[in-house]
């Protein structure tokens, strides 16, 4: 049982990693390699090309997430008893009741869903803009793209950590944990929106004005 569980976990992780690598690879292959000569001659604007890639990648991410959730649910159903089902029902009823009865928790759930959706979009666009910036170089474009990607993610992680520390230290004595969590989630969503917009605009601008497929 332990061995099969470990295999399942590895497969789930592998599926998530494969989805990320596949979407990034297809964008790279379609947009900045030999296929890009055909792609960029289509009678559409660069933002339409990027948007089409973004939509397909987002759908692939959603399909991957649903597959993981469904597989976990199927395995869990086979291992839980009737008493466990009643416990789960009571837990769900408690969560639903607390959400309806507590505006702060309801807001927190809404912010979490929005933040998750925005993080998917920004998580797709960050590799896109990294590839676009890397192709401006004549040599070692892949390495430049990887470097830009790492730099962006490290910077975002540092900004997120600083914001969390500041919120916790400033508001820990005057606000409850739910409010701090909601503010942190909301700020994170706003940062992801700003990053997604900047990455989208920058990618489209590079492909429109500085395309270099040599």
Please determine, for residue 162, whether its predicted confidence score (pLDDT) is greater than 80. Answer: yes
Digit-coded pLDDT (tens) for 5-59: 888 889 989 998 999 999 999 999 888 888 888 888 888 888 999 999 999 999 9
Digit-coded pLDDT (tens) for 62-102: 999 999 888 888 877 766 666 666 666 666 666 555 555 55
The pTM of the full predicted model, rounded to 2 decimals, is 0.82
Q: Quote the pLDDT of residue 78.
A: 66
Q: Quote the pLDDT of residue 151.
A: 93
Q: Quote the pLDDT of residue 181.
A: 75
Q: How many CB atoms lie within 10 A of CB 87?
A: 12
Q: How far apart are CA 10 and CA 67, in angstroms?
A: 14
Q: Rounded to the nearest 5 degrees, what angle is found at the Cα of 30, between the Cα atoms of 29 and 36?
A: 105
35 and 135 Cβ atoms separated by less than 8 Å:
no
Q: Quote the pLDDT of residue 95.
A: 58
Alpha-helical (H) ranges within the chain are 2-32, 34-39, 46-77, 82-101, 103-134, 141-171, 177-209
Digit-coded pLDDT (tens) for 93-143: 665 555 555 556 666 777 788 888 899 999 999 999 999 998 888 788 888
At residue 197 the predicted structure's pLDDT band, cuts being 50, 70 and 90, is very high
Q: Quote the pLDDT of residue 111.
A: 78
């Amino acid at each position: 049982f332990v061995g099969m569980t470990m295999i399942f976990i590895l497969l789930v992780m592998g599926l998530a990693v494969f989805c990320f690598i596949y979407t990034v690879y297809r964008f790279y292959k379609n947009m900045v390699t030999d296929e890009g000569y055909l792609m960029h001659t289509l009678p559409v604007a660069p933002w339409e090309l990027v948007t089409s890639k973004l939509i397909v990648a987002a759908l692939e991410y959603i399909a991957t997430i649903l597959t993981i959730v469904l597989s976990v649910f199927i395995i869990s159903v086979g291992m839980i008893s009737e008493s466990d089902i009643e416990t789960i029902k009571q837990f769900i009823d408690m969560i639903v009741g607390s959400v309806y009865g507590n505006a702060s928790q309801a807001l927190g759930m809404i912010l979490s869903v929005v933040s998750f959706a925005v993080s998917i979009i920004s998580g797709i666009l960050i590799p896109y803009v990294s590839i676009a910036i890397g192709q401006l170089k004549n040599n070692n474009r892949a390495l430049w793209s990887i470097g830009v990607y790492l730099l962006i993610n490290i910077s975002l992680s540092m900004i997120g950590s600083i914001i969390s520390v500041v919120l916790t230290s400033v508001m820990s004595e005057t606000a409850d944990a739910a409010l701090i969590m909601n503010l942190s989630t909301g700020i994170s969503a706003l940062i992801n929106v700003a990053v997604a917009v900047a990455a989208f605009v920058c990618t489209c601008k590079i492909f429109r004005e500085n395309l270099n497929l040599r």
